[in-house]
Chains A and B, each alone.
Chain A
Amino acid sequence: MKAKETLIPRPEQSASIADPPPAAASVVGISKRFGKTSVLENISFDVAEGEVLVLLGASGSGKTTILRIIAGLEMPYTGKVILHGKDVTELPARERGVGVIFQSYALFPKMTVEKNIGYGLRIRKRRRKEIRQTVNELLSLVQLEEHRKKYPSQLSGGQQQRVAIARTLAYKPEVLLFDEPFGALDTQTRVHLRREIRALLKKVNVPSIFITHDQEEALELGDRVAVINVGHIEQIGTPFEIYNHPATEYVATFLGAANVLDAVVGKDLLEIGSAQIPATLDPEKFKPGACVKVIFRPEDVSLTRGDFLRPGHARIGVATIEEITFVGAYERLRLRLDHPEECKTDETPYYLTTETPERKPTKSIMVTRPKPEASATRLHVGERVVVALNAFTVLPPQSTKSPN
């Protein structure tokens, strides 16, 4: 159920197929039940050496359970956890050599920073000299040398987090697992910290899995992102793929704003109401006459007066501007598109967009325009404009519902 892309080229796809990097950590067919409720269904993914994978999902999607299963703090109902080629599903947490950075950091309150960092080596009965040396190296790596004698309660949130990371790096973990690591911090600190941590992870080259519900964080941190929805993976791919080529409507709407329109498949084109836009579609998945969903981002829309079209844009209709909001870096417009016409299907359409389905033959869409464009062509509420798409994604009919 791959999304079919039309106007945006897919970069660096061939490279990863030609040379698949070996998996440092794999999860194979994991499912989990609590009592009779199934919380995870057939979860599988790989993390390559040095790669950062982000599990992105709303709260209650089961992402934390996946992390706890990899860490050995929870047993899966079915499936396997493989770390560097070794099946560790049956091993207890302490024999897995996995580093977990808890949301609350879980630093030991009665130990100093250096005692916390050296803990993993102390319980492994390493020699004092070796412990001291490793702790010194890690302290300078996370830049906390001057805080070595302090207790966790004397450190800021960001410093505590660095101690937590250093504490797991000390025993050279097979994989690092981050459970919503920035959840407890304010917006400015989290933006700053995630850049710092990304740089740190690239330096130490340990495969990492992050858990988050913040899409911006996922896109920025992850080499790849897996979008999780009620216990299954909706899509897994690079941030670019997930954002520009969402495989399902859920992925499209969960990562940023998205507009959804019904369309009918024609020969090398799509019919959206009375408009026709060129599209090369896989005939296997898109039978002529089938009802599909066209998904596009607010920033992929261009608005023009009259019938002038910018090159590379496909006209989808005429709309009335209903609202213009200034939101700093860009301008956000709400438009009502004329006659997009819903497909005649028996099912009630399933929308996850910002607006509710209406019976009217118009549909509201969201558009954003960057500042230069907004100031070059001023638009006003009530004005009629031509709506054209620069990029869009087409979803086959069945993908609007979650699989199985």
Chain B
Amino acid sequence: MSTIASSMRHVRGFDVARPLSIGMLVFMMLPLVFLPLASIFIFGTSNGLDKFWGALSAPEAVFALKLSMATSFWATVFNVIFGLFAAYVLSRYNFWGRNALIVTISLPTAIPTAVAGFALLLLWGPYGTLGRLLAPHGIQMMFTASAIILANIFVTFPLAFGVIKPVFDTMSHSLEEASATIGATRLQTFWHVTLPSLRGAIVSGALLTFARAVGEFGSTILVSGNLAGRTQTAPLYIFAKFNEGQIEAANAIAIVLALFSFLIFSVLFFARDWLDVD
């Protein structure tokens, strides 16, 4: 990423292909990526920053943002710990069914998010396989913040695992053997030797998971019930306000989400060297 391929010198004189191809690339990206993003900012601030700030500080909007952050946070915490554990087990031990487990962990990204939400409803819903047994005890998972966390966990399941596992795979086994011969227990070895080497992978995995969870819509709208001020996350708020014709309110949140993901990917991109530092 940091090294740029040296420009080709097998043509004589001025290489027309160079400015032409770069221009073409930018031109193709304009209607697909740049302009849609730009229009959020143009429309969001066209009526002045006061209006924008007002739309953003509406109680329902603040709640939606907070809920999104909180549910994404807990989903991230769970998935990073799980991903770490799964990566450890699956790269250390070879057992029957290992590959099947790896495929299963990666599966949720390939499943349409609406299907994921629907599946969760069928399991945890009031008439679902598990929900039916829990309902008499007053435990209702669906249409609460817990449901959103569950949906977020489901759709971001393999992200942290996918980043951490390759690092585990390539990590020299002799580091852990050295630690053991020096006298460390497995836990001490994991804490002092293995974990520090995974720092970069853990941070990247967490950021990816969080960014993906904050933007989750398809499964959330099914399992949350979309109750404003109670189970409405930021993407659901945008959708609801848009349906109500309150374009400005929707737009304000859209700007925040867009900036937010931009920030996360900047960190991932520019802090890569720091995250992998030896």
B and A form one assembly: yes
Listed in ascending order, the chain A residues whose CB lies under 8 Å from chain B are 71-73, 92-100, 102-104, 106, 108-111, 119-120, 122-124, 151-153, 167-168, 171
Closest 10 A/B residue pairs (Cβ):
A110-B196, A106-B178, A106-B174, A153-B278, A93-B180, A100-B181, A120-B182, A102-B174, A123-B184, A94-B183
Provide the bound-state CA to CA distance between A108 and B184, in Å.
13
Given A100-B177, A151-B278, A153-B278, A108:B183 Cβ within 8 A: no
Q: Assess whether A168 is in contact with B182, with CB atoms less than 8 Å apart.
A: yes
Number of interface residues of B (CB under 8 A): 19
Given A106-B172, A106-B175, A110-B278, A98:B181 Cβ within 8 A: yes
Q: Assess whether B278 is in contact with A123, with CB atoms less than 8 Å apart.
A: no
In the assembled complex, the CB of B197 is this many whole angstroms from the nearest CB of chain A, namely 6
Note all chain A residues with C-beta closer than 8 A to B199: 110
Q: Assess whether A123 is in contact with B192, with CB atoms less than 8 Å apart.
A: yes
Q: Assess whether A93 is in contact with B172, with CB atoms less than 8 Å apart.
A: no
Jot down 22 A-B pairs with beta carbons below 8 A, ordered by A: A71-B177, A72-B181, A73-B181, A94-B180, A94-B185, A95-B183, A99-B182, A100-B177, A100-B181, A102-B174, A102-B178, A103-B174, A108-B178, A109-B278, A110-B196, A111-B196, A120-B182, A120-B183, A123-B184, A123-B185, A153-B278, A171-B182
B129 contacts A by Cβ under 8 Å: no
In the assembled complex, the CB of B274 is this many whole angstroms from the nearest CB of chain A, namely 13
In the assembled complex, the CB of B7 is this many whole angstroms from the nearest CB of chain A, namely 32
Note all chain A residues with C-beta closer than 8 A to B193: 108
In the assembled complex, the CB of A84 is this many whole angstroms from the nearest CB of chain B, namely 16
CB nearest to B183 among chain A residues: A94
Note all chain A residues with C-beta closer than 8 A to B184: 94, 119, 123
Note all chain A residues with C-beta closer than 8 A to B180: 72-73, 92-94
Q: Assess whether B196 is in contact with A71, with CB atoms less than 8 Å apart.
A: no
Q: Assess whether B182 is in contact with A119, with CB atoms less than 8 Å apart.
A: yes
Provide the bound-state CA to CA distance between A102 and B179, in Å.
11
Provide the bound-state CA to CA distance between A87 and B187, in Å.
26
Given A104-B172, A109-B197, A123:B183 Cβ within 8 A: yes
Note all chain A residues with C-beta closer than 8 A to B188: 123
CB nearest to B278 among chain A residues: A153
Q: Assess whether A94 is in contact with B181, with CB atoms less than 8 Å apart.
A: yes
Q: Assess whether B192 is in contact with A93, with CB atoms less than 8 Å apart.
A: no
Q: Assess whether A171 is in contact with B183, with CB atoms less than 8 Å apart.
A: yes
CB nearest to B173 among chain A residues: A106
Candidate in A71, A104, A120, A123 with the most chain B CB atoms within 10 angstroms: A123
Q: A73-B181, A94-B183, A123-B185 are in contact. List 20 more A-B contacts (CB 8 A).
A: A71-B181, A72-B180, A93-B180, A94-B185, A96-B181, A97-B183, A104-B172, A106-B175, A106-B178, A108-B178, A108-B192, A108-B193, A110-B196, A119-B182, A119-B184, A123-B182, A123-B188, A153-B278, A167-B182, A168-B181
B145-195: which residues lie under 8 A (CB-CB) from chain A?
Answer: 172, 174-175, 177-185, 188, 192-193
Listed in ascending order, the chain B residues whose CB lies under 8 Å from chain A are 172, 174-175, 177-185, 188, 192-193, 196-197, 199, 278
Candidate in B183, B188, B278 with the most chain A CB atoms within 10 angstroms: B183
Note all chain B residues with C-beta closer than 8 A to A72: 180-181
Provide the bound-state CA to CA distance between A124 and B182, in Å.
10
Provide the bound-state CA to CA distance between A99 and B177, in Å.
11
Note all chain A residues with C-beta closer than 8 A to B278: 109-110, 151-153
In the assembled complex, the CB of A331 is this many whole angstroms from the nearest CB of chain B, namely 44
CB nearest to A108 among chain B residues: B193
Provide the bound-state CA to CA distance between A108 and B196, in Å.
9
In the assembled complex, the CB of B17 is this many whole angstroms from the nearest CB of chain A, namely 40
CB nearest to A151 among chain B residues: B278
Provide the bound-state CA to CA distance between A106 and B188, in Å.
16
CB nearest to A177 among chain B residues: B181
Provide the bound-state CA to CA distance between A71 and B182, in Å.
10
Candidate in A100, A104, A108, A111 with the most chain B CB atoms within 10 angstroms: A108
Note all chain B residues with C-beta closer than 8 A to A100: 177-178, 181
Provide the bound-state CA to CA distance between A59 and B278, in Å.
32
Candidate in B188, B192, B196, B197 with the most chain A CB atoms within 10 angstroms: B192
Given A119-B192, A123-B188, A153-B278, A108:B175 Cβ within 8 A: yes
Candidate in A71, A119, A168 with the most chain B CB atoms within 10 angstroms: A119
Q: Assess whether A110 is in contact with B197, with CB atoms less than 8 Å apart.
A: yes
CB nearest to A99 among chain B residues: B181
Note all chain A residues with C-beta closer than 8 A to B175: 106, 108-109
In the assembled complex, the CB of A207 is this many whole angstroms from the nearest CB of chain B, namely 16
Provide the bound-state CA to CA distance between A124 and B185, in Å.
10
In the assembled complex, the CB of B276 is this many whole angstroms from the nearest CB of chain A, namely 11
Note all chain B residues with C-beta closer than 8 A to A120: 182-183
Provide the bound-state CA to CA distance between A71 and B180, in Å.
10
Provide the bound-state CA to CA distance between A93 and B192, in Å.
17
Note all chain B residues with C-beta closer than 8 A to A109: 175, 197, 278
In the assembled complex, the CB of A398 is this many whole angstroms from the nearest CB of chain B, namely 40
Q: Assess whether B185 is in contact with A93, with CB atoms less than 8 Å apart.
A: no
